[in-house]
Amino acid sequence: MKRIISYNLNGIRSAMNKGLLEWLKEASPDVLCIQETKAQQDQVDVGGFYEMGYRDYWHSAGKKGYSGVLIISREEPDHIEIGMGNPGYDAEGRVIRADYGDLSVLDVYIPSGTSGDFRQEIKMAFLDDFLGYLTELRRSRPGLLVCGDFNIAHNEIDIHNPKGNKNNSGFLPEERAWVDTFLGSGFVDSFRHLHPDTVTYSWWSFRANSREKNLGWRLDYHMLTEELAPRLRGAGIMNKVKHSDHCPVWVDIET
């Protein structure tokens, strides 16, 4: 069994100052996929990871203090793939993959479109290109787990105020339709597959005491290929864990 946790930290240095290492020691995942490191590797003291037996694999953005993904793993992967072969996206540090035998764990931070129309256009272009990339990747790596911050709440059950947010980035009809297409291409939403009626969230705005009021969105996912889905043994959302405006989400995969 392999437990894989995905966590958007909204800045790894800030999260470490809020007790991330103590939580990691207690949670003890086999693999931790982090989004929004907002740091270069040489800016972070990783000694605490090494003391717990973890190795670290980074894909930072060219722009300091921005984006970035990181995989922390107890087992040394057979292969690490940095980026998705698109220089524009790869400069933003959005995709990293670790292969363990026939299991591939891909950590993604999908762009946000909340800052305006230009970034929303980039987000939609990324979504299309990312799906094309995954479709090709699955030919050689069918046992694929795609986890991370998708920046999309898929259905009304995944957001606290669906009617009030229908025109907001992250819940736009075209974004939700893309998730439909993504799942239709042969992926399974692990949490929703096991918990079809559970209302719980993984992100809350810092504004208006949103977390205390549980006015959240489910933006963080573990998406499994249909080939991998029979090995799914559990999935959950750790919404009591607070180092970020997101919380960790986890899956257990039979190895």
Percent of the chain with pLDDT over 90: 97
> Could you read off the pLDDT of 73-103 as tens digits, one per residue?
999 999 999 999 999 999 999 999 999 999 9
Q: Tell me how many domains the chain contains.
A: 1
Q: What CA–CA distance (Å, rounded) separates 44 from 131?
A: 32
Q: What CA–CA distance (Å, rounded) separates 226 from 54?
A: 29
Asked if pLDDT for residue 219 goes beyond 90, the answer is: yes
Q: How distant is the alpha carbon of residue 139 from its chain centre?
A: 22
CB 242 within 8 A of CB 28: no
Average pLDDT over residues 136-152: 98
Average pLDDT over residues 194-223: 96
Neighbours of 131 (CB within 10 A): 15
* pLDDT for the residue numbered 220: 98
CATH of the domain at 134: 3.60.10.10
Residue 126: pLDDT band with limits 50, 70, 90: very high
* pLDDT for the residue numbered 116: 83
Asked if pLDDT for residue 37 goes beyond 90, the answer is: yes
* pLDDT for the residue numbered 153: 98
Residue with token string 């949103």: 210
10: domain range?
2-253
Neighbours of 56 (CB within 10 A): 15
Asked if pLDDT for residue 127 goes beyond 90, the answer is: yes
The residues near 121 (Cβ < 8 Å, ≥ 6 apart) are 113
Q: Which of 149, 189, 220, 252 is catalytic?
A: 149
Residue type, 244: S
CB 36 within 8 A of CB 63: no
Residue 131: pLDDT band with limits 50, 70, 90: very high
Rg (CA), the chain: 17
List beta partners, residue 252: 3, 234
Percent of the chain with pLDDT over 70: 100
- pTM for the complete prediction? 0.97
Per-residue tokens: 13: 């240095």
Task: Examine the residue annotation and report whether 99 is marked as an active-site residue of this protein.
Answer: no
Average pLDDT over residues 217-241: 98
Residue ranges in 108-187 assigned as alpha helix (H): 117-140, 173-184
Residue 68: pLDDT band with limits 50, 70, 90: very high
Say which DSSP state 77 is in.
P
Torsion sign, CA atoms 220, 226, 230, 231: negative
Burial degree of 229 (CB within 10 A; 0-12, 13-18, 19+): middle
